[in-house]
């Protein structure tokens, strides 16, 4: 099996209805050449998931949530379940983003429970991992990420249902990026870890790179043996930049 690249946008807490015009432009720009090479996914804020799903009907662009609760329903004011995302038209969900790990104190165990919820609801679940700056400086980046993988990925993960996103925390929104060699080393380590635990499924699981991906640096960062796509924050808000990054694959 060859791993089909996934070009994914995480809009974070950005986007009002007016911003759906950028999503429509992404759908319009998802050419036959791009479709032949990569999957497209946009994860808007939860308020826009249903409208976003409608806006890309027939375009082949997937829509996803940015987080979900571990439970399917219940007394959890303000939370959204994986089933609700699915019902609104999502096909994917991101869990364990470093902003949620930091802002909401989400542990690996919490992330794993959310990932299990994503699988239960039939959503392809993107599990995010990544080291902080001081962990990299201490030479612990790979060990930290291995531990996150062990703690955050459900045992039931398969290549079709789980995607891993490696996002070094210090590269998110900063314009800083790891070197090509550092990305290669980390993705190789993630591949080994997945292979040891999941066998062929691990070999076939997509591993995305995220953190300050832009059209200018996309080729260097994502055209590498164990990099199967990008998770894009800021640059996914503009169709031109998102399409510019995706064009690295054609
Ligand atoms: P930036 O592309 O803005 O650095 O964000 C990356 C990210 O966190 C995507 O989930």
Nearest to 154 by CA among 185, 184, 123: 123
Centre of ligand 1 to C-alpha 130, Å, is: 12
6-16 per-position pLDDT tens digit:
999 999 999 99
40-87 per-position pLDDT tens digit:
999 999 999 999 999 999 999 999 999 999 999 999 999 999 999 999
Q: Tell me if 69 is assigned to some domain.
A: no
- Say if residue 1's pLDDT is above 90: no
Q: Tell me if 215 is assigned to some domain.
A: yes
Burial of 225 (C-beta count, 10 Å sphere; 0-12/13-18/19+):
exposed
Phi-psi region of 215 (alpha: psi -120 to 50; beta: other; left: phi over 0): alpha
Ligand 1, atom 5, lies closest to the CA of 233
Nearest to 186 by CA among 201, 205, 199, 168: 168
Q: Tell me if 149 is assigned to some domain.
A: yes
85-101 per-position pLDDT tens digit:
999 999 999 999 999 99
Q: Tell me if 51 is assigned to some domain.
A: no
Atom of ligand 1 nearest to the CA of 234: 3
Q: Tell me if 93 is assigned to some domain.
A: no
Q: How many separate helices (H) and strands (E) can be counted in the chain? A: 12, 8
Residue 185 is part of which domain span?
124-241
Confidence of residue 178 (pLDDT cuts 50, 70, 90): very high
146-171 per-position pLDDT tens digit:
999 999 999 999 999 999 999 999 99
16-44 per-position pLDDT tens digit:
999 999 999 999 999 999 999 999 999 99
- The catalytically annotated residue of 22, 99, 106, 167 is 167
Query: By percentage, how much of the chain surpasses pLDDT 70?
Result: 100
Ligand 1, atom 1, lies closest to the CA of 233
Q: What is the model's pTM?
A: 0.98
* Count of domains for the chain: 1
For the question of residue 167 being annotated catalytic, the response is yes
Q: Tell me if 102 is assigned to some domain.
A: no
Q: Tell me if 142 is assigned to some domain.
A: yes
Centre of ligand 1 to C-alpha 166, Å, is: 11
Ligand 1, atom 9, lies closest to the CA of 233
Confidence of residue 2 (pLDDT cuts 50, 70, 90): confident
Q: Tell me if 34 is assigned to some domain.
A: no
Structure confidence at residue 133 (pLDDT): 97
Centre of ligand 1 to C-alpha 51, Å, is: 23
- Say if residue 102's pLDDT is above 70: yes
Number of C-alpha atoms within 13 angstroms, CB side, residue 102?
11
Confidence of residue 144 (pLDDT cuts 50, 70, 90): very high
Can you give the CATH number for the domain in which 181 is found?
3.20.20.70
Q: In the predicted model, what is the mean pLDDT of the chain?
A: 97
């Amino acid at each position: 099996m060859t791993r089909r690249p996934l070009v994914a946008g995480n809009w974070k807490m950005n986007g009002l209805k007016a911003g759906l015009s950028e999503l429509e432009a992404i759908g319009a720009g998802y050419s036959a050449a791009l479709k032949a090479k990569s999957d497209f996914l946009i994860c808007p804020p939860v308020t826009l998931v249903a409208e976003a799903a409608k806006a890309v009907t027939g375009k082949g662009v997937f829509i996803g949530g940015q987080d979900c609760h571990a439970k399917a329903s219940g007394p959890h004011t303000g939370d959204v379940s994986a089933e609700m995302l699915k019902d609104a038209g999502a096909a994917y969900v991101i869990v364990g983003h470093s902003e949620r790990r930091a802002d909401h104190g989400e542990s690996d165990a919490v992330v794993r429970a959310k990932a299990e919820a994503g699988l239960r609801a039939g959503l392809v679940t993107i599990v995010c991992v990544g080291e902080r700056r001081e962990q990299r400086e201490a030479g612990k980046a790979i060990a930290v990420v291995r531990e996150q993988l062990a703690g955050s990925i459900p045992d039931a993960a398969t290549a079709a249902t789980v995607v891993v996103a490696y996002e070094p925390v210090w590269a998110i929104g900063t314009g800083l990026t790891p070197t090509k060699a550092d990305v290669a080393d980390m993705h190789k380590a993630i591949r080994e870890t997945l292979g040891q635990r999941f066998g062929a499924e691990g070999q076939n699981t997509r591993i995305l790179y995220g953190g300050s991906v832009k059209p200018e640096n996309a080729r260097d960062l994502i055209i590498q043996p164990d990099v199967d796509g990008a998770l894009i924050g800021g640059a996914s808000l503009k169709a031109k930049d998102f399409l510019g990054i995706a064009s690295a694959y054609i």
